[in-house]
Amino acid sequence: MYKIFMLIVLPLLAIAWIAYAIWMHKVREEEKKTGRPKSERLQKTRSEVTDWAKKMTQFEPPTRKKRPDQTIDEGRETKDE
């Protein structure tokens, strides 16, 4: 029974793999000609990222306000204190 099963299944499996390889080859050739389709969600995400990148190039970090009583060492305590 096992031999009969293997004689039927192995050729079918080989044929299926060959058909799959041919189908994938055709899909790749079609994508080369037309390019991959881009979904609306992908295009929206890309535009959001570019908008964010533009905002980040214009971003200036806030300046730290120095208290008038701070010395040059800024935060380090001196031994005299």
- 70 falls within a domain: no
Give residue 70's pLDDT. 60
pLDDT by 10s per residue, the chain, length 81: 999 999 999 999 999 999 999 999 999 999 888 877 788 898 999 999 999 999 999 888 888 777 776 655 555 555 554
- 58 falls within a domain: no
DSSP three-state, residue 8 = helix
- 61 falls within a domain: no
Q: Which residue segment(s) compose the domain that 18 sits in? A: 2-49
Per the structure, the count of domains in the chain is: 1
- 37 falls within a domain: yes
Nearest to 55 by CA among 66, 47, 43, 64: 47
- 13 falls within a domain: yes
CA dist 30 to 17, 34, 39, Å? 20, 6, 17
